[in-house]
Copies of this chain bind each other. A is one copy, B any other.
Amino acid sequence: MLLEKIHSPEDVKKLDNYSLQNLAREVRSALIEKLSKHGGHVGSNLGMVEATIALHYVFDSPKDKIVYDVSHQSYAHKMLTGRAAAFLDESKYDDVTGYTEPCESEHDHFMIGHTSTSISLALGLATARDLKGERSNVIAVIGDGSLSGGEAFEGLDNAGEYATNFIVVVNDNEMSIAENHGGLYGSLAELRNTLGKSQNNYFKSLGFDYLYVESGNDVLALITAFKKVKDSTKPVVVHIHTKKGKGLPFAEQNKEAFHWSIPFDAKTGFQDWGSGESWGGVLSGYLMEKIKSDSKVVVIHSAVPAGIGFFAPQRKEAGRQFIDVGIAEEHAVALASGLAKGGAKPIYSTHSTFIQRTYDQLSQDLCANNNPATLLVTMSGADGMNDTTHLCIFDIALMSNIPNLAYLCPTCVEEAKAMMDYAIDRTLCPMAIRIPNGVAHREGEFDKDYSKVSYKMDKKGSKVAIIGLGDFYQRGVAVAAELAKQGVEATVINPRFASGVDVELLESLKADHQVVVTLENGVAEGGFGQKIATFYGNSNMKVLVKGLKKEFYDKVGFAELCDRNRLTPEQIAEDVKSALV
């Protein structure tokens, strides 16, 4: 096996044409085998096999520096840079992360997971090289889908005026996670159709030289192209046309489902997602009803429509009441503000980790204008994605401190629906709803009015009050049960709002409570509980703020995270008891 003998890019350079093609076959089979057993990003990695081999054949990494956008397509790169065992030996599958990781290898320069950042990061490396008077090639590899993100444009535009070596490989597989959206994709199609000759050339309009490679899965054609641009002294785009999912028929067919996959049957492509209830299912059902009952309702998404269960059939059914703006979160928020101002009822949804792109748009475009758009912040909390680059634990601090924005945290599906009912139909001020990972149900009536910050006291006890925000409400109930075993009948409160304090209710607790404990599924610093601690700062009330310590956790399991941060019901009850003394 060739792959076992590749310990570094030096070994790739020694191969003849025939062996290079064999290596591509071996890399592809190893990818399919690991992906089917382990899950991961399927389509992009299969499409990038040949380009990765060609890059390492032509350029001299790590002296020449390759920066992968999102870096979810860097598996072949990892195999060729000393990490093949993590793809060949099942017991070592978890020795590497799913993204580039400087701790793993000198061939990886950044930890990357969000889109559209590679050009700016790589331009920084190129500029540092020039300041230091060194010579080398700097290459940014970016997929067509990532080009719709504003940060990628800003990077391209700035790079376009440099007179220096800077190579951007555009990996055009004609897809984002779902289909591409944006006028740019029309002109990329024109470039493909004319083999790069179309006059509508986005890259040239930003000052880049341009080279087109139709056979983006032909390692020899790619080598020829990369040799042409090696050591170039001005910015150049190499636009390569690849096939997403190449070599795995069902992934080539169903590109969206195999962008990222859980383990699957390597023969049939069957993915066993189970039959449990998911927030995607809940949200798509609910939103589709809203769409049908009101032609002014419009659901906006930015390239991860599966997050709200909007797959191809739902998107088709929603018609023009569903807008996928592509990877363009900033635009999505401003668009929602404009829609709300224009009298429509926009609902923009993205994951907690991606809402981070939009602080200024939330503040300026939406909240300062007080337009009644609704936001759904999905996959929020520490019990979901846990790669450092995809943590969903910072949104409470981010969103709960913006004026005019109510940040609602439902404790269950039923309450989420009540909140959405209120948010979507009102015509005053923006509202965001934090959608957790776990699907919980609760019986009872849920308030239909969220016009002002008000908490719900679900159980009146004394001495101790437990305020459990959103999906940590049930954890609060579990803490109450622990305390009850020890003879303390605690008050249980559902605060509903992360963005403010219910002065009246909190004041009332002073009469017969000594300890208040707040629970939130996210980083505590800057978040919800700190508002409560501040409220009681000038009183005798003891306040325990329970949430995660501010940190970039790297693939730490939820149970361990809770244990480390003293967030298990038992630990919390213990800390409350100590405070009671």
Interface residues in chain A, defined as those with a beta carbon under 8 Å from any beta carbon in chain B: 102, 109-114, 117, 120-132, 148-161, 181-187, 199-202, 204-208, 235, 295-296, 298, 320-321, 323, 325-326, 328, 330-331, 334-344, 346, 356-357, 359-361, 363-365, 367-369, 388-389, 394, 397-398, 400-404, 523-527, 529-531, 533-534, 536-540, 542-545, 550-552, 579
Q: Give every chain B residue within 8 A of A361 (Cβ-Cβ).
A: 117, 151
Chain B residue, CB-CB nearest to A157: B182
Chain B residue, CB-CB nearest to A501: B525
Q: Give every chain B residue within 8 A of A112 (Cβ-Cβ).
A: 364
The one of B126, B149, B157, B359 in contact with A356, judged by C-beta atoms closer than 8 angstroms, is B359
Interface centre among A120, A187, A361, A394 (most CB of B within 10 A): A120
In the assembled complex, how far is the CB of residue A500 from the closest CB belonging to chain B, in whole angstroms?
8
B113 touches A331 (CB 8 A): no
The one of B127, B161, B200, B336 in contact with A124, judged by C-beta atoms closer than 8 angstroms, is B336
Task: Report the separation of the CA atoms of residues A155 and B326 in the bound assembly, to the nearest whole angstrom.
Answer: 11
Chain B residue, CB-CB nearest to A204: B200
Task: Report the separation of the CA atoms of residues A407 and B331 in the bound assembly, to the nearest whole angstrom.
Answer: 29
The one of B121, B403, B536 in contact with A552, judged by C-beta atoms closer than 8 angstroms, is B403
Known: A150-B149, A389-B364, A401-B525. A346 touches B124 (CB 8 A): yes
Q: Give every chain B residue within 8 A of A579 (Cβ-Cβ).
A: 538
Task: Report the separation of the CA atoms of residues A496 and B123 in the bound assembly, to the nearest whole angstrom.
Answer: 33
Chain B residue, CB-CB nearest to A405: B550
The one of B127, B398, B400 in contact with A335, judged by C-beta atoms closer than 8 angstroms, is B127
- Top 3 closest A-B pairs, CB basis? A124-B338, A160-B183, A150-B150
A363 touches B368 (CB 8 A): no
Interface centre among A159, A342, A346 (most CB of B within 10 A): A342
Q: Give every chain B residue within 8 A of A235 (Cβ-Cβ).
A: 183
B531 touches A151 (CB 8 A): no
B186 touches A342 (CB 8 A): no
Known: A364-B114, A369-B110, A530-B534. A153 touches B155 (CB 8 A): no
A186 touches B160 (CB 8 A): yes
Q: Give every chain B residue within 8 A of A296 (Cβ-Cβ).
A: 128, 131-132
Interface pairs (5), CB distance under 8 Å: A151-B334, A154-B331, A199-B199, A524-B534, A537-B545
Known: A158-B326, A208-B183, A530-B533. A404 touches B131 (CB 8 A): no
A183 touches B202 (CB 8 A): no
Known: A114-B360, A183-B160, A545-B534. A120 touches B401 (CB 8 A): no
A182 touches B202 (CB 8 A): no
Task: Report the separation of the CA atoms of residues A332 and B81 in the bound assembly, to the nearest whole angstrom.
Answer: 30
A182 touches B201 (CB 8 A): no
Task: Report the separation of the CA atoms of residues A207 and B182 in the bound assembly, to the nearest whole angstrom.
Answer: 8
Known: A121-B365, A157-B182, A334-B120. A543 touches B538 (CB 8 A): yes
